[in-house]
Structure 1
Amino acid sequence: MNYREVAEQLVPLLGGENNVVSATHCATRLRLVIDDESQIDKSGIEELDGVKGAFSSSGQFQIIFGTGNVNKVFEHFAPLVGATMDDKSPTGETHSDAAKRKMNPFARFARTLSNIFVPIIPAIVAAGMLMGLLGLMKTYEWVDPESGLFVMLDMFSSAAFIILPILIGMSAAKEFGANGYLGAVIGGIMTHPALLNPWGLADAQPSTLDFFGFGVEMLGYQGTVIPVLLTVYVMAKVEKGLRKVVPNTIDLLVTPFLTVIFTGFTALLVVGPLGRILGNGITTVLDVVYNTAGPIAGLIFGGLYSTIVLTGVHHSFHAIEAELLSNIGGNYLLPIWAMANVAQGGATLAVFFRTKNKKTKEIAVPAAVSAFLGITEPAIFGVNLKHRRPFIGAAIGGALGGAYVVFTHVMANGIGLTGIPMFAIAQDPLNYGIGFVIAVAGAFIATLLLGWKEETK
């Protein structure tokens, strides 16, 4: 593959360098913000050497090259359109901001939540894997639960959830355009030792503080999500408002001081309690659906998840999953999403075995492997959605797998990992594995039975 040649061929197919507002890349895709997408020659792009698919989503036109290739193409492509390696557009605007301008309000909201939680996922994944290890130690009596090793590992596993508001506070503040360290301070206020830590305490009875005649419940927000999100959003508004009126000479002293005081009172008196009620309400509704509808809920959610991915709304699910982890100690949504993801790989394998198109065969196997590892875009946009019926076959497989993991009450100890990596955080790896096989096999068989119209080229 000639990376320079492909990059040079891309520019006219995208409508010229002036039609590319901003450009960046992720692990597998070139991500472009385009001024006028009607000028794009999508079929021409998909015929280029190394291109595994192209699609428009979340305010961006994305071209799939795969791991190892995309960064090399971008290296030659960026100078041609005036993009830089530091995620800046030619106008100086960040790529993320340029993409958000192209989204509808709901997609913009989902992307904002995603930007907040994605940096935190490694911490939650590490905690989830430690919880799984502790579970194995306890179940098979590898280590005495009273031993120093077990106690220390237990501390390590719960730490991320106890300080979750601090992590979210810093990440959310940065996303909202505020000072990240002030966001962390607000998270620290909401998890202060003076507040009763409800983490792991089912019947916590906090004391009440008399604040000018108002009773303030001294209950901490360890492990919560929505209260700190709402509070930091308020903090960002306060900080930005103060910076407009406070003189620059005293800004460093006055703005942080007033921001922390005002937001701290707001957190403990108003926004925090309301956020707790909202978070508990969402969890209760999901529990009712999960426990009442059972496998039917898994069937529906597993079948529809990949369609939701097309809209970009799935990015908002991280907040709900984190709330579930905090409130019930497990995430029953992630195994359902995992079934939908691996089913895309099963459908793609079916296309590989049936198709006679050389380029489709070249794309299908790596796309399937990527889906089994939890990255579905190559499979969805490079193969299944292009042929339409394989996408329906994948939905059938995802529905069957989703029904099974709900029926067997499979839960995860974290968020963000699906496919094969999710075995590390699955509370029931055996039934998760069975659901995995059901989803892949169901999608494979359904795709072969449904068939599709073969491409002539």
Structure 2
Amino acid sequence: MNYERVAKQLIPLLGGKENIISAVHCATRLRLVLKDDTKADTKAIENIEGVKGAFSSSGQYQIIFGTGVVNKVYDSFVQEAGLQHVSADVHQEAVKQKMNPLARLAKTLSNIFVPIIPAIVASGLLMGLLGMMKAFKWVAPDSPLYVLLDMFSSAAFIILPILIGFSAAKEFGGTPFLGAVIGGIMTHPALLNPWGLAEAKPNYMHFLGFDIAMVGYQGTVVPILLATYVMCKIERGLRKVVPHAVSLLVVPFVTVISTGFITILAIGPLGNLLGDGITTVLNFIYHYGGALAGLIFGGLYSMIVITGVHHSFHAIEANLLAKLGVNYLLPIWSMANVAQGGAGLAVFVKAKLVKTKEVALPSALSAFLGITEPVIFGVNLKYRKPFIAAAIGGALGGAYVVFTNVVANAYGLTGIPMIAIVAPEGMQNLINYLIGFAIAVGSAFIATLLLGFREEE
């Protein structure tokens, strides 16, 4: 492929250089912010060599090239479009400006929680290893190896407010290290650590007419999000009025002390109340809705993916892990994702055009690895009926994993990689996950063949 030629072909089809605000790329897609998305000629763009699909979503115009190709196209594209000096931060801000409030909230939560995924996955795998060591009695519970692994596995959840504080402050336009300090205040050793101590009762301190429970916020999500948001508001407000000569001394000091008092007195308890409320509602739906809840959530999840709002679920899943120690939502999302792969695989089998097959197979395989956008936008949604078939598969798979109580001990992985965070919860948990996987893929595959689709010449 001639990447320079592809870049030159793209620019006029996107409405010219003057219509392109910024560009970045992910693992498979060139992500663009355009002044006017309607000027993009999607049909012509999809006929360019190497393009596997194009669509507009979540404030961005996205062109699918695939792994290993998109980065090379991007390098040529930014040169041709004159975007070499446009930073990723400028791109993110441009994306947000084009979104509606709900999508903007989802994007914000995504930007906060996605960077934390490696820490959560690592802790989940370590917890699984620790559980296996305990179940099979490989080592004694008081052995140094067991004690150290126990420390390693719980560390990310204990300091979760610090991780979120750093990431959220960066997203909210504050100083990340001040966000980490607020998280540190909320997890200070002087406060009772409730992580793993559900029956422990805290002491109380009488201050300014308030009875303050000396309990920490280790492993919580909502309180630190609210506290960091307030902190960034205070910090930005101070920077506007404090002279630059004393800004370094005054702004951090006033920001930390004021946010600390507000957090301990009001935000912390309120955030815990909101977090508990979300968990209670989800538990009610999960336990009393049963398989029906899985059927509905599994069937609708891919439609939520189209809007981009699904990224906000990371916050909810992190809260479930903090409160319950397990994540029962992720298996449902995984069923919806692999069902899209099953439908894409059926398109590959039934398609007659070489172009369709070239797009369908790798896109379907990427869905089995947890990356669904290529198969959703490049194949299934394009032909409509495969997308409906995938929704059927996701619903049936979702119903099964809820009925059999499949759970994960982390978030961020779906499809085949999710086996790593499902297996630690027991062999039966793993078997039921794999059965649900087969149900979702198989039913989506069969439904696609039965519903059929019409290829575009």
The aligned amino acid for 2:116 is I
- Report 1:82-231 matches (<5 A): 82-84=82-84, 87-88=87-88, 94-231=90-227
Q: Which runs of 5+ in 2 are unaligned?
A: none
What is the Cα deviation at residue 98 of structure 1?
0.6
Secondary structure at 1:94 match in 2:
helix
1:72 corresponds in structure 2 to 72
1:368 corresponds in structure 2 to 364
* Greater mean deviation of Cα atoms: 324-333 or 129-138: 129-138
What is the Cα deviation at residue 233 of structure 1?
0.2
What is the Cα deviation at residue 86 of structure 1?
6.4
Alignment of 1:38 with 2:34, yes or no, is no
Provide the TM-score with structure 2 as the length reference.
Answer: 0.98
- Report 1:6-45 matches (<5 A): 6-45=6-45
Q: Which runs of 5+ in 1 are unaligned?
A: none
1:339 corresponds in structure 2 to 335
Contact 2:294 2:401 in 1 (8 A): yes
* Greater mean deviation of Cα atoms: 210-219 or 375-384: 210-219
What is the Cα deviation at residue 424 of structure 1?
0.6
What is the Cα deviation at residue 344 of structure 1?
0.5
1:402 corresponds in structure 2 to 398
1:62 corresponds in structure 2 to 62
> C-alpha separation between the residues in 1 aligned to 2:220 and 2:247?
32
The aligned amino acid for 1:39 is K
Secondary structure at 2:157 match in 1:
helix
> C-alpha separation between the residues in 1 aligned to 2:56 and 2:97?
14
Secondary structure at 1:292 match in 2:
helix
1:319 corresponds in structure 2 to 315
Contact 2:22 2:86 in 1 (8 A): no
> C-alpha separation between the residues in 1 aligned to 2:83 and 2:39?
19
Encode CA deviations 1:332-351: one digit per residue, 9 max, x unaligned.
Answer: 00010000001110000000
The aligned amino acid for 1:33 is V
Secondary structure at 2:406 match in 1:
coil
> C-alpha separation between the residues in 1 aligned to 2:294 and 2:25?
33
Secondary structure at 2:33 match in 1:
strand
The aligned amino acid for 2:437 is F
What is the Cα deviation at residue 146 of structure 1?
2.3
The aligned amino acid for 1:178 is G
1:440 corresponds in structure 2 to 441
What is the Cα deviation at residue 145 of structure 1?
2.3
- Report 1:208-357 matches (<5 A): 208-357=204-353
What is the Cα deviation at residue 454 of structure 1?
2.5
Secondary structure at 1:425 match in 2:
helix
> C-alpha separation between the residues in 1 aligned to 2:137 and 2:329?
29
2:377 corresponds in structure 1 to 381
Contact 1:173 1:232 in 2 (8 A): yes
1:452 corresponds in structure 2 to 453
CA gap of 1:143–1:430, structure 2 versus 1, over 3 A, is: farther
What is the Cα deviation at residue 9 of structure 1?
0.4
Contact 2:342 2:442 in 1 (8 A): yes
> C-alpha separation between the residues in 2 aligned to 1:378 and 1:49?
16
* Greater mean deviation of Cα atoms: 159-168 or 363-372: 363-372
Encode CA deviations 1:122-142: one digit per residue, 9 max, x unaligned.
Answer: 000100111111222222222
What is the Cα deviation at residue 85 of structure 1?
6.8
> C-alpha separation between the residues in 2 aligned to 1:87 and 1:361?
36
> C-alpha separation between the residues in 2 aligned to 1:275 and 1:411?
25
* Greater mean deviation of Cα atoms: 111-120 or 149-158: 149-158
> C-alpha separation between the residues in 2 aligned to 1:85 and 1:396?
45
Encode CA deviations 1:156-201: one digit per residue, 9 max, x unaligned.
Answer: 1100000000000000000000000000000000000000000011
Contact 1:332 1:409 in 2 (8 A): yes
> C-alpha separation between the residues in 1 aligned to 2:281 and 2:67?
40
Secondary structure at 2:48 match in 1:
coil
> C-alpha separation between the residues in 1 aligned to 2:227 and 2:176?
13
Secondary structure at 1:56 match in 2:
strand
> C-alpha separation between the residues in 1 aligned to 2:85 and 2:441?
38
Contact 2:344 2:360 in 1 (8 A): yes
> C-alpha separation between the residues in 1 aligned to 2:171 and 2:228?
10
The aligned amino acid for 2:451 is L
Encode CA deviations 1:14-69: one digit per residue, 9 max, x unaligned.
Answer: 11111111111111100000111111110000111111111111100000000000
Secondary structure at 2:199 match in 1:
coil
**Aligned residue pair count:** 452
Contact 2:192 2:216 in 1 (8 A): yes
Secondary structure at 1:198 match in 2:
coil
Encode CA deviations 1:368-425: one digit per residue, 9 max, x unaligned.
Answer: 1100000001110110000000000101111111111111111111111101111111
Encode CA deviations 1:95-131: one digit per residue, 9 max, x unaligned.
Answer: 0001111000110011000000011110001001111
Secondary structure at 1:205 match in 2:
coil
Contact 1:24 1:85 in 2 (8 A): no
The aligned amino acid for 1:440 is V
What's the C-alpha RMSD, in Å, of the aligned pairs? 1.0
> C-alpha separation between the residues in 2 aligned to 1:368 and 1:147?
46
Secondary structure at 1:418 match in 2:
coil
Match of 1:358 among 348, 354, 358: 354
